[in-house]
Amino acid sequence: MSVHAHRSARIGLILLLGAGLSACGSFDSASNRIAGMVTPYKVEVVQGNVVTREQVEALQPGMSRQQVKEILGTPLMTSLFHADRWDYVFTLKRPGIEAQSRKLTVFFKGDTFDRVEGDEMPTEAEFVATLGTSRRSKVTSKVPPLEATPEQLAKYPKASTATLPQPADSAVPPPPSSYPPLESTTR
């Protein structure tokens, strides 16, 4: 490559970079408004254990750690240095709304529940109400019933075991009407 061709390539590259940099500054308010209308979808983030007032009220002094865990769930934080306490932290982050955070500390004496300290927990209904956003409420303003009414059930004939087809091999016994418990009742 000759010196002249090399110099021309260098000048062309400088002109191309200059044009590219000048194009970066050509955004005006109209193009900024258009770019501002296109926003990515941001999800609601629930972190930690949701603990409701009803769950806290179900705790009774003297309960075992396992019973507390069955009511509140697994604690978010446990410490080897503070084995007599469990910490439950809950945070709800939604776009455009300040993050909600609630903390609850459960104290034990030995292996039995002693007391609870922390923020006032919402009722289950209050928590569900905070999850509703304006976008979601426009789409689904009414929750459909999750149970069939007696009138709806009357439309369908009752199935009896006599109308079910019998297996070709009659040596197979019918299934049991009740099953043994999955776990032993003695501990």
Which pLDDT tens digit goes with each residue over 150-168? 888 888 877 655 555 655 6
For residue range 44-75, what is the model confidence (pLDDT) as tens digits?
777 777 888 999 999 999 999 999 999 999 88
Judged by DSSP in three states, 106 sits in: strand
Closest CA to 55 of 76, 34, 39, 69: 69
Q: Answer yes or no: pTM beyond 0.75.
A: no
* DSSP state for residue 64 in the 8-state scheme: B
- 3-class state of residue 102 by DSSP: strand
- Cβ-count burial of 106 within 10 angstroms (0-12 exposed, 13-18 middle, 19+ buried)? buried
